[in-house]
Amino acid sequence: MVMNKYNEFNQPPPPKLSPFDPSVLPTRPDLVDIWLPLSTDMSRRSTKDLKGQTCQYMGKTLFLKSIDLTKSFTAQKELFVTLAKEMMEFDHPNVVAAKGLGLVGYNTKLCVAMEYMDQGSLLNVISNKDKQLTEKQMWQMCLDISLGLQYLHKLGHTHGNLSTKHVLINSDGQCKLNVQAIVQPKEEITRYGAMLVPFCAPETLKNHTTSLAADIYSLAIVFGQIFTRKTPYYELYNELGYVEGDLRITQSLNE
């Protein structure tokens, strides 16, 4: 009996759980107020350029952006949560709403749940030759995007990544700024071949910096693509391809 008591006192303490352990995440003080009990009834939906899982929550379809907890480093998980919490700070009719965080995939995937935008990106819509758009609809698109950008600027927040690829459209035809693009690390802005370079102001391409003025430059390019329904520098990209076209544009700034 004495030996049993001795052994009890010498038991090693239980291992400390990671802050990303599935049993810990829902109770973390920084996440408890934005935690969602996401449904396991999921499906995979996609448009031409918007792919991912969706789930039903309180009668609405939500789009899920996830990270695999079993295959990611701690730094990657921390960045994912940081960006998700930043997304939650935005609240405007013309910015895609992030609803909260939750676990899916047998608790192996941490997801940020966002409102589902049925029509995908603005780029997808205006590139569809079968999609008829009236002048009134195109002006409404411009207004929606402008209101979303105005909201960001009033917060003192630059977008830094505005393009038709990063504007999403819901089933009612309303345009909203993709909240994921707003918080995206800015070093990815000038990634060649991603069709972002033609929307960047010259100073952004030269200095890899963002500003309110540079956002307005990008906004003007977006307007132009809405009304022409053509890619900026269409002839250049048609001749050289996206990567070589991006290189030619950036090189021309130094000539």
* pLDDT tens string 194-245: 888 999 999 988 888 889 999 999 999 999 999 999 999 999 999 999 899 9
Show the 3-state SS of the chain: CHHHHHHHHCCCCCCCCCCCCCCCHHHCCCCHHHECCCCCCEEEEECCCCEEEEEEECCEEEEEEEEECCCCCHHHHHHHHHHHHHHHCCCCCCECCEEEEEEECCCCEEEEEEECCCCCEHHHHHCCCCCCCCHHHHHHHHHHHHHHHHHHHHCCCCCCCCCHHHEEECCCCCEEECHHHHCCCHHHCCCCCCCCHHHCCHHHHHHCCCCHHHHHHHHHHHHHHHHHCCCCCHHHHHHHCHHHHHHHHHHHCCC
Are both 13-115 and 122-252 of the same fold?
Answer: no
Weakest mean pLDDT among 12-26, 80-94, 137-151: 12-26
Instruction: Indicate the pLDDT class of residue 254, thresholds 50, 70 and 90.
Output: confident
- The pLDDT assigned to 43 comes to 56
**Alpha-carbon dihedral 177, 88, 191, 249, rounded to 10 degrees:** 30
| pLDDT for res 48 | 47
Alpha-carbon span 199 to 190, nearest angstrom: 10
CA atoms within a 13 Å half-sphere pointing along the CA-CB vector of 195: 16
Residue 159, pLDDT > 50, answer yes
**pLDDT for 2 beyond 80:** no
Homologous superfamily assigned to 13-115: Phosphorylase Kinase; domain 1 (3.30.200.20)
* pLDDT tens digits along 57-68: 888 899 999 999
Question: What percent of the chain stands above pLDDT 90?
Answer: 67
Q: Which residue has the higher pLDDT, 211 or 6?
A: 211
Please tell me the predicted confidence (pLDDT) of residue 15. Answer: 75
Least confident of 41-50, 140-149, 173-182, 191-200: 41-50
**Residue 90 scores a pLDDT above 50:** yes
pLDDT beyond 70 at 1? no
pLDDT of 188? 58
> Would the pLDDT of 107 be above 80?
yes
d(CA 56, CA 61): 5
Q: Which of 22, 25, 23, 60 is nearest to 39 (CA)?
A: 60
- Per-domain residue ranges for the chain? 13-115, 122-252
Residue 3 has what pLDDT? 56
Inform me whether the pLDDT recorded for 187 exceeds 80.
Answer: no
User: Using an 8 Å Cβ cutoff, are 222 and 164 in contact?
Assistant: yes
When the pLDDT of each residue in the chain is averaged and rounded to a whole number, the result is 88
pTM score, whole prediction: 0.87
Q: Tell me how far the alpha carbon of residue 201 is from its chain's centroid.
A: 21
Pairing of strands 60-68, 42-46: unpaired
pLDDT at 40: 54
The architecture of the domain spanning 122-252 is Orthogonal Bundle (1.10)
Distance, CA of 62 to CA of 85 (rounded, Å): 17
For 124-155, write each residue's pLDDT tens digit.
Answer: 999 999 999 999 999 999 999 999 999 999 99
